Amino acid sequence: MVSRNAYIVGTGHSVPEGVITNADLEKIVDTSDEWITSRTGIKERRKADDDTGSSDLVAEAVSDALEMAGWEPEDVQGIIVGTVTPDYPFPSTAAIVADRLGMGRIPAYDFEAGCTAFIYGLIQAKAFVESGMMDRMIVVGADCLTRITNWDDRGSCILFGDGAGAVAVSSRGPGGRLGGWHWGSDGSLGQHLIQKAGGSKRPASHETVDRNEHTIFMNGSRIFKHAVRAMHDSCMEALKKDGTEKSSVDLLVSHQANLRIIDATARALELEPEQVFINIQKYGNTSAASIPIALDEAYRSDAIGESSTVVLAAFGAGLTWGGMILHW
């Protein structure tokens, strides 16, 4: 049997124009630019306007990825969107975007793995493409977390921003070949990062709204400790499966949650500062969108070149974690 590979052949992203600076947040909660910058690395983040939903950002990101891939919308055989902030609980954002861009009656679905969703999506795409089920598909990570941010909680509201990133995955290169991977979860820690109401367990009511339970609850320091370990373990497991030494890594493109977490991961991989792609200062934590946005910016700025070995790593709600190696 001829073995098949899966390649990233197009990337794209979209962020809304609205900017929230640290100075803006100083007017809302008891915080300071100095605290936010030194504890997180974030200087500003983007916020969608009232008329914009995740699907609007997704459509723009996908259009960019299609253009780079040289695909028409009807070339796409499937689209999957990782998000915790879809336009609606149903129908899916993926189906909305497939229709809006004219992709036809293809399979389209959303899935949820918090900030790890994009890596979960790449692993699904690798399985679909390498098995021969699809030749051309779109993987998206997108979130508008400012829609569910608790603006009274200084421990979390300073982190989040909105955005979407997309990749086109093909059975034909050249491109970034999807290599070794790792994914996992631990639901016993789920309560540390949770939107408590709005699902079947606690449907929306006046009480849930009054108690602010439709916004993000986060035990930041608990998540931080988990994140440092999960990011490192995901990288090492993915490298092992790939048969690649950490000394061969050219670039780390990780979930942009906190600069200190990214730095700790880079130190564990023994990477130099120029081998770590960072854009958290501009966008904050965009959840599922952070890796595909960073990947697109890294690719378009030539931080990724011919024969680059790139490590992706993420952690998020669930709790979930994952890693993947890309070979250009």
Residues annotated catalytic, as ranges: 115, 255, 285
Part of the chain binding ligand UT7 (CB under 6 A), chosen from 32-40, 126-134, 183-191, 243-251: 32-40
Q: Which of 170, 258, 286, 309 binds ligand UT7 (CB under 6 A)?
A: 258
Part of the chain binding ligand UT7 (CB under 6 A), chosen from 50-58, 79-87, 137-145, 214-222: 214-222
Please give the C-alpha separations between residue 83 and each of 175, 260, 273, 327, in angstroms, as whole numbers: 25, 24, 30, 26
The pattern of x and - marking residues 143 through 162 that bind ligand UT7 according to CB under 6 A reads: -----------xx--x----
**Does residue 134 interact with ligand UT7 by CB under 6 A?**
no
Nearest distance from C-beta of residue 152 to ligand UT7, angstroms: 12
**Does residue 320 interact with ligand UT7 by CB under 6 A?**
no
Q: Give the nearer residue to ligand UT7 in terms of CB position, either 31 or 63.
A: 31
Q: Give the nearer residue to ligand UT7 in terms of CB position, either 137 or 257.
A: 257
> Which residues sit at the interface with ligand UT7, rule CB under 6 A?
31, 35-36, 39-40, 115, 154-155, 158, 193, 218, 220-221, 223-224, 227, 257-258, 285, 316
